[in-house]
Structure 1
Amino acid sequence: MGKIYEKLTDRLREFVTTQPVFFVATAPEQGGHVNVSPKGYSDTFAVIDDTTVAYLDLDGSGVETIAHIRENGRVTLMFCAFSGPPKIVRLFGTGRVVTPGDAGFADLLTLFGPHPGVRSVIVVSCDRIADSCGYAVPFMAYEQDRTLLDEWAGRKDVQQRRDYRAKHNRESIDGLPALGPAETDPVTQHS
């Protein structure tokens, strides 16, 4: 059934980079809420090397992943095959949040397609790479990406995005710190 890998093989790289959606799971160190976030847009995920991946973190309704990663680093990414052979791949590891003011941010942005509303890049160093069967995962047909998030961010000017982030992205739903005041300033950041 399942297998553990020391690195992302060519076959695993192909699988994770071609899935139209993946899921990110994090949790606070003590109590609080476990968070699972779906991520879309095929050009927002990248394999950096054999054990490191990254994804583009865009403006959205919450900031749980950033808060949890900054508190304890734990993160799991899950990819499911909704078409073709049944397969699930989980990437367990330690995440770090790279914001526009951090060294290396501009280089990381080159890995992704153009999107307005970029908050950060989440980089994950994988310490466990595992697959398993997806025998119970249903077949579903991918039609297209929803463009609503990019459209929403594209309609906001810098001050509106600054206000939104200051109101919604400073702390998690459990009160953990997330983006600091300087990190909520979107200036003209665009991937």
Structure 2
Amino acid sequence: MEHLARAKAPRSRIYHHMAEGMAFKVTVALRSSRVEKWIRDVKRDFLDAAPTKCVGLDCEFTDPREGDQRAVVLQLSVATETLVFQICWADEVPQVLKEFLQDGNIRFCGAAIDKDVQMLSPYGINITSEFDLQKILPNPTNKPTPSLYDLTNSTIWTNLEKKKRKKYQKKDVAAQEKEDELILDGPMFH
């Protein structure tokens, strides 16, 4: 039997997506150099001239049932630009990112952001200006804690819906890689 070498996935990809009549650019990165470029670009193109500097922040975590929970993906959004930094598989966490997230002139906004801040600290990241939108914005629902989708739909008059998560199933590495590839190559990111 011949063993075929499998081509490695690209270290970063850029996707363009249209939604709600707007064009979005999503940068998926593993390399610190791509993260540094994204930060330089959004500072130059959006933040430097903005009187109020806001960046959306979210993290995805490992499953707590798997042991020590940690941040796997850091997502940052500015205007129509989004960075998806696969932090736990990255070559390094760049100092430029750490300094960016410590900039007290930038408001980092998210839902239940305290958990994100906590999960990023093992990477040497200390966010000093975080804002939990669930605590700041008026609750447009009857729920005790509105979701980020609820807040977004109420604030910018959209009708976005969160996709339902499938029940947790342990998958082998090959199956998970194939699923991840399908998600990243799907129509949402093109």
TM band (smaller chain): under 0.3
Structure showing greater Rg: 2
Instruction: Flag the structure with more relative contact order, 1 or 2, with Cα contacts below 8 A and sequence separation at least 6.
Output: 1
Structure number with the higher helix fraction is 2
Give the TM-score, by structure 2 length: 0.26
Give the TM-score, by structure 1 length: 0.26
Structure number with the higher strand fraction is 1
